[in-house]
């Protein structure tokens, strides 16, 4: 498969021009382009340029309103609520963070609910932005149902990631970003597009049997990470990101893939915590001690370290992008 090496700046510009060409407003296109650049920089291909044709298709068909302007409310001093109005999650989250960060500094802790939203991409991308402000960021996002309850066959919750970002210098010191499923659904979607088999243990078919066929997996159920415990983690996310935020439950949301069903109107929820008033100034030292204990063990790694390690080479050398993918993206550029 032929490919072309692009700089991160070229990737951001290409993503921006494509989403803009599909009909999105400039702020939305810029937000999606920044997130795409970050995904490619971190080596997370499934959420990088691979998603741009899907975003563009969804703007064109109306599954996401590319011109929606999020509405921000501050119902209480430590509470922020954003109606994404069926638009992209990224600009809605950015608008909410503009209120969340000062609210957390003022109150010690604050929460942000986002509803009528869309796929927020890499959840850790958002929580890490809170860590860059010196805050501990905890995030939840729900998704269209793709995981059946332990012992069942019918999906009722999505892959439902949660993420924790701990501030460090200059980047997050710890970045936990994991879904309730064994693997992100986007990984299976990417392999379906590329005609590749998936490893056994990732998913079940519609009859509840293990499968390595990505198409059969997409018609069945993702396997929860850790069995019943993984489903429990996903249910916790559903409660925060959908029930608490007022978003659509995953079992009722239209899929993030394809053009059917209209806007999914899913949601996100974030906590931002200022560590100073809670730890008495000891937080940074304790985190450093904890990280050192992990790093001291051969073969062990701190969550997030793989992403952090990918950044300098990508900054320096750029990344390779399949020419077939570039052709699909450039079809939207006007």
CATH of the domain at 147: 3.30.1370.60
Q: Which domain holds residue 258?
A: 84-181+224-303
Examine the domain organization and report whether 113 and 165 are in the same domain.
Answer: yes
Count of Cβ atoms closer than 10 Å to residue 194 Cβ: 13
How far apart are alpha carbons 237 and 230 in whole angstroms? 11
Q: Would 200 be classed as within a structural domain?
A: no
Q: Are residues 249 and 122 in the same domain?
A: yes
- The model scores a pTM over 0.85: yes
Based on the residue annotation, tell me whether 47 is a catalytic residue of this protein.
yes
Do residues 105 and 157 share a domain?
yes
pLDDT given at position 194: 85
| Same domain for 45 and 143 | no
> What pLDDT does residue 332 have?
98
Q: Structural domain tally of the chain?
A: 2
| Continuous segment of H or E residues that includes residue 227 | none
Decide if 187 is catalytic: yes
Annotated active-site residue in 187, 225, 238, 245: 187
Instruction: Decide which of 56 and 206 is more confident.
Output: 56
Q: Are residues 169 and 255 in the same domain?
A: yes
Same domain, 39 and 153: no
273 and 166 both lie in a single domain: yes
Residue 329: inside a domain, yes or no? yes
Residue 113 above 80 pLDDT? yes
User: Does the pLDDT value for residue 248 go beyond 80?
Assistant: yes
pLDDT-derived band at 185, boundaries 50, 70, 90: confident
Residue 2 forms part of a structural domain: yes
Q: How many other C-beta atoms lie within 10 A of the C-beta of residue 306?
A: 13
At 321, which CATH number? 1.10.1530.10
Q: Is 272 helix (H, G, I), strand (E, B) or coil?
A: strand
Residue 203 lies in a domain: no
Higher pLDDT, 154 or 19: 19
Domain match, 232 and 93 both: yes
In a domain, 71, yes or no: no
Question: In the sheet where 174-178 sits, what is the strand order?
Answer: 71-76, 79-83, 109-117, 266-273, 136-141, 162-166, 174-178
From 40, 46, 128, 163, active-site residue: 46
Same domain, 274 and 255: yes
- The verdict on whether 46 is a catalytic residue reads yes
Q: Which of 12, 47, 221, 225 is catalytic?
A: 47
Same domain for 56 and 120, yes or no, is no
Domain co-membership, 8 together with 122: no
Average pLDDT over residues 167-196: 88
- Structural domain includes residue 321: yes
Q: Are residues 149 and 248 in the same domain?
A: yes
Whole-angstrom Cα distance, residue 259 to residue 104?
38
Query: Rg for the chain (alpha carbons), in Å?
Result: 19
Helix (H, G, I), strand (E, B) or coil at 266: strand
């Amino acid at each position: 498969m032929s490919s072309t090496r692009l700089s991160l700046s070229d990737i951001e510009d290409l993503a921006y021009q494509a989403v803009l060409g599909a009909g999105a407003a400039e702020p939305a296109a810029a937000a999606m382009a920044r997130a795409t650049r970050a995904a490619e920089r971190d080596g997370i291909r499934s959420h990088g340029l691979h998603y741009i044709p899907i975003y563009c298709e969804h703007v064109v068909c109306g599954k996401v309103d590319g011109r929606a302007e999020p509405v921000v409310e501050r119902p209480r001093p430590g509470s922020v609520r954003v109606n994404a109005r069926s638009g992209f999650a990224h600009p809605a989250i950015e608008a909410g963070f503009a209120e969340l960060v000062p609210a957390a500094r003022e109150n010690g802790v604050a929460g942000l609910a986002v509803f009528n939203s869309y796929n927020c991409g890499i959840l850790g991308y958002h929580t890490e932005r809170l860590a860059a402000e010196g805050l501990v960021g905890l995030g939840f996002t729900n998704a269209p149902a793709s995981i059946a309850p332990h012992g069942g066959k019918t999906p009722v919750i999505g892959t439902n990631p949660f993420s924790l970002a701990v501030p460090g210098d200059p980047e997050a010191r710890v970045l936990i970003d994991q879904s309730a499923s064994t693997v992100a659904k986007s990984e299976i979607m990417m392999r379906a597009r590329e005609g590749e088999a998936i490893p056994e243990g990732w998913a079940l078919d519609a009859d509840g049997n293990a499968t390595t066929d990505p198409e059969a997996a997409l018609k069945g159920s993702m396997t929860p990470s850790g069995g019943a415990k993984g489903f429990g983690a996903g249910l916790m996310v559903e409660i925060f990101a959908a029930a608490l935020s007022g978003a659509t439950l995953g079992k009722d949301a239209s899929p993030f893939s394809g053009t059917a069903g209209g806007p999914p109107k899913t949601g996100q929820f974030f906590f931002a915590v200022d560590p100073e008033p809670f730890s008495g100034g000891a937080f940074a030292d304790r985190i450093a001690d904890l990280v050192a204990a992990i790093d001291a063990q051969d073969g062990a790694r701190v969550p997030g370290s793989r992403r952090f390690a990918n950044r300098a080479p990508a900054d320096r050398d750029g990344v390779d992008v399949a020419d077939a993918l570039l052709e699909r993206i450039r079809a939207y550029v006007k």
